[in-house]
A = this chain, B = another copy of it.
Amino acid sequence: MTQSAPASPPPAPARPVDLRGRSLLSLDDLSDAEVDHLLATARALQEPISSGPLRGVSVALVFLNPSLRTRVAAEVAMADLGGHAAVLSPGNDAWKWEFRRGAVMDGDAVEHVRDAIGTLSTMVRGLGLRCFAGMRSWKEDAAEPVLRAVAEAARCPVYNLESAQDHPLQSLADLLALRDALGADLRGKPLALTWAPHPKPLPMAVPHAVLRMASRAGMAVRVCCPEGFEPDGAFLGSVRRAAEERGGSVSVHHDQAEGLSGAAAVYAKSWGAPSFYGRWEEERTPRAAAAGWTVTRERMAAAAPRARFLHCLPVRRNVVAADDVVEGPGSLVLNQARNRLLVQKAVFLETLRP
A284 located at the interface, meaning its Cβ lies under 8 Å from any Cβ of chain B in the complex: no
| Residue ranges of A at the interface with B (Cβ–Cβ < 8 Å) | 48-50, 55-56, 58, 60, 63, 66-69, 71-73, 75-76, 79-80, 83-84, 86, 88-90, 92-95, 98, 101-107, 110-112, 114-116, 118-120, 122-124, 199, 313-319, 323, 326-327, 333-334, 337-338, 340-341
Q: Does A318 contact B68, Cβ atoms closer than 8 Å?
A: no
Contact status A93-B83, CB under 8 Å: no
Are A88's CB and B76's CB within 8 A?
no
Contact: A337 with B76, CB < 8 Å? no
**What are some 21 contacts across the A-B interface (CB < 8 A)?**
A48-B56, A56-B80, A58-B76, A63-B93, A66-B95, A68-B94, A68-B116, A72-B124, A75-B84, A76-B84, A89-B93, A103-B318, A104-B319, A106-B316, A107-B199, A111-B313, A111-B314, A112-B315, A115-B326, A122-B337, A123-B338
Contact B115 A341 (CB under 8 A): no
Contact of B90 with A68 in the complex, beta carbons under 8 Å: yes
**Which residue from B55, B89, B105, B123 sits with its C-beta under 8 Å from A317?**
B105
Most chain B CB neighbours (cut-off 10 Å) among A69, A89, A315, A327 = A69
Which residues of chain B are within 8 angstroms of A71 by Cβ–Cβ distance?
Answer: 86, 88, 93-94
Q: Kindly provide the distance from the CB of A324 to the nearest chain B CB, expressed in whole angstroms.
A: 10
Q: Indicate whether A341 sits within 8 Å of B76 (C-beta atoms), given known contacts A314-B95, A314-B110.
A: no
Taking chain A's interface residues, is the majority helix, strand, or loop, or is none over half, making it mixed? mixed
CB pair A318–B102 under 8 Å, yes or no, is yes
Chain B residue contacts of A55, Cβ below 8 A: 50
**In the complex, residue of chain B having the shortest beta-carbon distance to the beta carbon of A102:** B323
Cα(A119)–Cα(B311), bound, Å: 12
Residues of B within 8 A of A110 (CB): 314, 316
**Given A63-B93, A93-B67, A119 and B334 touching (CB < 8 A)?**
yes
What B residues does A95 contact at CB under 8 A?
Answer: 66, 68, 314
In whole Å, how far is A169's beta carbon from the nearest beta carbon of chain B? 14
Chain B residue contacts of A49, Cβ below 8 A: 56
For residue A316, which residues in chain B have a CB less than 8 angstroms away from its CB?
105-106, 110
Closest-by-CB residue of B relative to A90 is B68
Of B50, B76, B90, the contact of A86 (CB 8 Å cutoff): B76
Contact A114 B327 (CB under 8 A): yes
Q: Which residues of B contact A112 (CB under 8 A)?
A: 314-315, 317
Closest 6 CB pairs of A and B: A111-B314, A79-B84, A122-B338, A105-B316, A119-B337, A68-B94
**Chain B residue with Cβ nearest A59:** B76
- What is the distance, in angstroms, from A5's C-beta to the closest C-beta of chain B? 33
Q: When the two chains form their complex, are residues B93 and A317 in contact, meaning their CB atoms are under 8 A apart?
A: no
Question: With contacts A63-B93, A67-B94, A69-B119 known, is A79 near B75, CB below 8 A?
Answer: no
* List of B residues within 8 angstroms of A313 by Cβ: 111, 115, 119
Tell me the minimal C-beta distance from A118 to chain B in angstroms.
Answer: 5
| Contact indicator B105/A319 (Cβ below 8 Å) | yes
CB <8 Å contact, A76 and B124? yes
